[in-house]
Amino acid sequence: MISKADSANLILRLYELRRDPALRDARDWFVTRFHPRSAQEVFSVWMGPNSAQYRMVTTYWDMAASLVNHGAIDPAMFHDANTEHNGVFAKLQPFLTELRRRSGLPDYLANLERLVLAQPDAEGRLDVYRRYLTHKAATTTTLAPMEAQ
């Protein structure tokens, strides 16, 4: 069993990684300018000019989820300290089956999916994020590329 102190240290390390300028920019792009309406749009971004930003965000949260799922971080402490993973999952959940089929990766984002859906009232939480994302998409440009640094 992981100690609370070890969980806290890993969560703080994950937070330090989130402060990396490239990841910070990618996260901002993902939240504020990436508003897919179909699996094709997600796949186009995944394989297009914003692939690095897309992959940086999705692999970061899937990696963090794997640490929780494998017992390195206490789940309750992780969820208390983080919420962004819920938004990332809510944005991509409608397209996961098709993304997994197209990519040939049947376990694509499976760690993130498992972690988010294991939360108490997962659907209620996801519904809050879906409403927020719908509002965000209505007030910003869909799939805008990152500006040059």
Dist. CA 7–CA 1, nearest whole Å: 10
Asked if residue 108 belongs to a domain, the reply is yes
In a domain, 148, yes or no: no
Residue showing tokens 């990152």: 146
Report yes or no on 118 lying in a domain.
yes
Counted domains in the chain? 1
The pLDDT value given to residue 145: 54
CA gap 108, 65 in Å, rounded = 13
Q: Is position 144 within any domain?
A: no
62 lies in a domain?
A: yes
Could you read off the pLDDT tens digit of each residue along the chain, which spans 149 residues? 789 999 999 999 999 999 999 999 999 999 989 999 999 999 999 999 999 999 999 999 999 999 999 999 999 999 999 999 999 999 999 999 999 999 999 999 999 999 999 999 999 999 999 998 888 888 875 555 554 43
Predicted local confidence at residue 148, as pLDDT:
41
Query: 145 in a domain, yes or no?
Result: no
Judge whether 28 lies within some domain. Answer: yes
Domain enclosing residue 58, as ranges: 4-138
Q: Decide if 43 is inside a domain.
A: yes
Half-sphere exposure (CA, 13 Å, Cβ side) for 98? 12
- What is the model's pTM? 0.89
